[in-house]
Chain A
Amino acid sequence: MGQKINPLGFRLGTTQNHHSFWFAQPKNYSEGLQEDKKIRNCIKNYIQKNRKKGSNRKIEADSSFEVITHNKKMDSGSSSEVITHIEIQKEIDTIHVIIHIGFPNLLKKKGAIEELEKDLQKEVNSVNQRLNIGIEKVKEPYRQPNILAEYIAFQLKNRVSFRKAMKKAIELTKKTDIKGVKVKIAGRLAGKEIARAECIKKGRLPLQTIRAKIDYCCYPIRTIYGVLGVKIWIFVDEE
């Protein structure tokens, strides 16, 4: 029985970049890691809090990207404010935080960045380092595996059948120009007594080729029957 290595960790240094980019003395490396973790937690908590606050009014999908409106309530709910990753670069006197987000409607509001910066400054409490927050909108959101995973999670929580949710997710990736995609859900599918894993694959997925750029996400979903795990691999390009 073979195990699969994590495609991101396997490609670090070649086609996969680190999400934190800084240098430190070995004595201070641990403090840098703790600081990174605080920054990321603060940003995610801020978005979580404001997502709950903003869910009362209607969330409109980004107009530059067409969302398939098969079911309006589900689609518009699932495409709100998913962070793909947070990039942190540190210099001697500045910390640059770049939030790569799929649909940045929330953070584009007036005063949101300043409020977030204030929260972060309070959290990090470093006197001689400035914070610099930038937002980068992801060019093709449905090419990102954790946006797809959030989409599937939203569908499964609303009792859509899992096979339909998987096929819909793969359909969304067809609009973007990718070479292969694989979606795997494991757990008590459709509330069955015995757990199993289901997998749909389209296109190529060269997991052993280091120069192939593969994006990967592993995402647990809590349902009333237990925890389902979703794994999504996306083969973006070959250098």
Chain B
Amino acid sequence: MAKKSLIQRERKRQKLEQKYHLIRRSSKKKIRSKVYPLSLSEKTKMREKLQSLPRNSAPTRLHRRCFLTGRPRANYRDFGLSGHILREMVYACLLPGATRSSW
């Protein structure tokens, strides 16, 4: 079980990323556009606008955590779970399609 404060920080980052996702994407597209190229001063203005967004809204600040326990390591991307919670849930028949190999 991770600290609740760290879990809440991560949740805040997720919400901020969702909130500013479209603004970030459209600003980056405008800066990099070749079809409608911006002038240098306009590019500078657009970059300043990008930099004024909150830092926690950057998608690179997100970190993958287990959604049940909040453990930051040994997480599987396909399940969103850490390793030993994944094992417990497989044995409790809660993951559809998961079976155990035996021969």
Tell me the A residues contacting B by CB distance below 8 Å. Answer: 5-6, 8-10, 12-13, 16-23, 26, 29-30, 32-34, 36-37, 85, 210
Contacts and interface: CB of A to CB of B under 8 A. Distances in A.
Given A9-B91, A20-B93, A29-B79, 19 more contacts: A5-B100, A8-B91, A9-B90, A9-B100, A10-B102, A12-B90, A12-B98, A12-B100, A18-B93, A18-B94, A18-B95, A18-B98, A19-B93, A29-B78, A33-B67, A33-B80, A34-B80, A37-B67, A37-B68
Contact of A16 (B68, B81, B93, B96): B93
A6 B91 contact: yes
Contacts of B35: none
B78 A22 contact: no
22 contacts: A6-B91, A8-B92, A8-B93, A9-B91, A9-B92, A10-B100, A10-B102, A12-B98, A12-B99, A16-B93, A18-B96, A18-B98, A19-B94, A20-B94, A20-B96, A29-B79, A30-B67, A30-B77, A32-B96, A36-B94, A37-B68, A210-B102
Given A30-B79, A34-B67, A37-B68, A21 B96 contact: yes
Contacts of B89: 33
Interface in B49-103: 67-68, 77-81, 89-100, 102
B79 A22 contact: no
Interface of B: 67-68, 77-81, 89-100, 102
Contacts of A21: 96
Nearest to A14: B99
For the residues of A in contact with B, the DSSP-based class is: mixed
Contacts of B96: 18, 20-23, 32
A198 B93 CA distance: 27
Contact of A33 (B91, B93, B95): B95
A30 B94 contact: no
A19 B78 CA distance: 19
A10 B93 CA distance: 10
A21 B95 CA distance: 8
A9 B102 contact: no
Contacts of B95: 18, 20, 33
Nearest to A40: B94
Contacts of B97: 18, 23
B99 to A, nearest CB: 4
A115 B1 CA distance: 32
Contacts of A13: 99
A41 B96 CA distance: 18
A19 to B, nearest CB: 5
Q: Which of A21, A26, A29 has the most CB of B within 10 A?
A: A29
A20 to B, nearest CB: 5
Q: Which 9 A-B pairs have the closest CB atoms?
A: A30-B80, A9-B91, A6-B91, A13-B99, A12-B99, A20-B96, A19-B93, A18-B93, A18-B96
A20 B97 CA distance: 9
